[in-house]
Amino acid sequence: MNPRSFAHQVLNPCMPRRVLLTVLFCCFAFSARSASAQRYLPTIFPEQRTIEVRDPSELPKYRLRESPPPSMVSKPQDELEPVLLPLDDAIRMALTNADVIRVLVGTAATSSGRTVYDTSVTNTFIDERNARFDPTVSSNNSFNRTETPVGVFNPFDPTQSLISGTRTDGFNTTSGLSKLNAYGGTLGLSLDANPSRSQPGFFPLNPQTRSATTLNYTQPLLQGGGLRPNLAPIVLARIDTERSYFQFKDSVQELVRGVIEAYWSLVAARTDLWSRRQQVLQLQTAVERIVARVDVEIDNRADLAQAQLQLANFRVNLVTSQANVIQREAALRNIIGLPPVDGTRLIPSTPPINDRFEANWDEILDLAADRRPDLIELKLIIEADLQTLQIAKNSALPRLDAVSLYRWNGLEGTMPNGDTIRSASGSFTDWTLGVNFSVPLGLRQSRAALRRQELLISRDRANLQQGLHNAVHLLATNVRALDQLYEQYLAFRDARRAARINLDAQLLRYQTQQTILLNVLQAIADWGNATSFEASALTQYNTQLATLERQTGTILETHNVVFYEERFGAIGPLGRFFADECYPESQRPTPNSDKYAPGHGPAEDSFDLSPPSNLRDILDVPYEKIQLPDFDDNLPDVPPRKPPPKRLP
């Protein structure tokens, strides 16, 4: 087909509409067949009948942070430089690296999902809600040509008709300004102009320009009216910003508490490792002595086997303790924002608090009721519910609007004699006063929404009471745990001292053949366990002190941590061609003040760790070099077993 003929048929106004739509459909479907068109063009042609997934190599590439291989039990990194780390510095490092808030979960740290940018993101919704009250300027312009064919009688032959028409060329321009006020009323001012020219024909005014200036105002009297329902969305946005702030504060509180827990857990793990090392060293010395005594037939091989078994068990405990130290240090590094390995070994230097905490129960309850972020959030939820209730009550009212309009009309044009004529100002005016009313019969939807909101308020008030109830129980549990752990610390401290005396006595008695080997082995186990338990109880007690501050919502205040607002430049009200304005970017915590007593050595030294007297001469021996004796060379001779007697039939 000739292209010109095809175009003529397509553009022919007499062409059937169905054929024209079919041609356009085929052209559009053909243009959207490529893969790029299917992915990026907003079209429904063709259907998505396959799942398209890009290869990972096509995605943006991000490199992981480079890090040396981590330390392991079988491959300890002895070349790491020991660095004393006070607890205040650990908290300070965690707050400095807190773009994403991390929390401690067991023996690992993970993201809480909160960032320093969350509150600033939520804060933008306030301006979005305020925007509905901003004045709106509009300007609409269009060029129009109207040329409608009509059939008329032929004046020279009434039996025939002619097709004629009048063409009118016009330009419509409408400029307006509208403003919604806080009471729901809308004020509008518009200026309209419509110059036009018609041909052919003889007209009173050609060209002519119609103009109108319209002032209108609509005020809802029931639904949509009132100050509180119209301001409620803005109040809700402000409450959401407050909620985001306290949610972020709650996560930062958990970050500080997690750093303290990870710190004291590392102290306890290092103390436990020291005690397990001493047990291995003590048993190694005992095994060497027993071997020498077996050679001269003072001891028997059963005593040697028993000592070797206990030594093997202590070595198992030593490996577990060493792995625990590595894991606890890794957790502390993770939560404070350090890489797994950076050439240093963190050594906690802050001694734990060993003074009894005397709880003022009434003061603790008052602090928790006012300061706990989770309780504050529940209070804010109820405030938001009350604002939503205002909107629901307003929506349950009928629609009753008072409307008013006043318009000044004008006309200007050229008369057939070529002169210009225009109407006098204010000669032609329109006005309208009225009341519009509408209501769905029964108001079922809005009444159901109102009931739902009233029930939500009851539910959230119950949740607040449950939150208060739960807070009291958590505080009571916390206070009881503090008392229990401190009493356990005192008991384990006395047990360690008694175990030390017992160990020295049992060693002396065994050397003089006044006791059996089993008593010595038990004394060594009791002394090492008591040392580890004492450290565990005291470090858990210090962790519970931080948990109590967390439960009362004052842990940031006690460490003198506040938030400061970072700002950034973004597009302002005047647009891209003018200077940017400053807006909130992030809420960052300030560094903490020093709170804990400074230490000048490893924190575990505060437990007065000193080995038994008979180990002082081998303290320089690395525990990793202690080897188990060869069990096969020291096993006693075992007579062959006799076959069991036969049973009678």
- pLDDT digit string, tens, across residues 441-485: 989 999 999 999 999 999 999 999 999 999 999 999 999 999 999
Among 350, 386, 396, CA closest to 542: 350
Q: Is residue 561 part of a domain?
A: yes
CATH number, domain with residue 589: 1.20.1600.10
**pTM of the predicted model, to two decimals?**
0.81
38: pLDDT strictly greater than 60: no
pLDDT at position 313 is 85
Please compute the mean of the pLDDT values over residues 200-208 and round it to a whole number. 87
pLDDT at position 312 is 85
Rounded CA separation 404/217 (Å): 5
Among the residue ranges 8-12, 92-96, 491-495, 506-510, the one predicted with the least confidence is: 8-12
Q: Is residue 575 part of a domain?
A: yes
Number of structural domains, the chain? 2
DSSP lists the bridge partners of residue 168 as 146, 198
| Residues contacting residue 623 through CB under 8 Å, at least 6 positions apart | 277, 280, 281, 318
| Residues contacting residue 175 through CB under 8 Å, at least 6 positions apart | 137, 138, 139, 140, 190, 191
Question: Residue 375: which domain range?
Answer: 246-380+458-634
259: pLDDT strictly greater than 70: yes
Rounded CA separation 382/250 (Å): 19
Residue 492: is it exposed, middle or buried by C-beta count within 10 angstroms (0-12/13-18/19+)? buried
> Helix axis angle, 301-336 relative to 227-295, nearest 10°?
160
- pLDDT digit string, tens, across residues 508-563: 777 777 777 778 778 888 888 898 999 999 999 999 999 999 999 999 999 999 99
Secondary element (H or E) of residue 435: strand 428-438
Q: Is residue 549 part of a domain?
A: yes
Please compute the mean of the pLDDT values over residues 267-286 and round it to a whole number. 86
Inter-residue contact 70 to 330 (CB < 8 Å):
yes
pLDDT at position 640 is 43
Q: What is the 3-state secondary structure (H, E, C) of 278-327?
A: HHHHHHHHHHHHHHHHHHCCCCCHHHHHHHHHHHHHHHHHHHHHHHHHHH
pLDDT at position 287 is 75
Q: Is residue 82 part of a domain?
A: no
Among 189, 193, 177, CA closest to 141: 193
Q: Is residue 277 part of a domain?
A: yes
Q: Is residue 349 part of a domain?
A: yes
Q: Is residue 400 part of a domain?
A: no
602: pLDDT strictly greater than 50: yes
- pLDDT digit string, tens, across residues 105-150: 988 889 999 999 999 999 999 999 999 999 999 999 999 999 888 8
21: pLDDT strictly greater than 70: no
Q: Is residue 567 part of a domain?
A: yes
φ, ψ for residue 457, nearest 5 deg: -65, -45
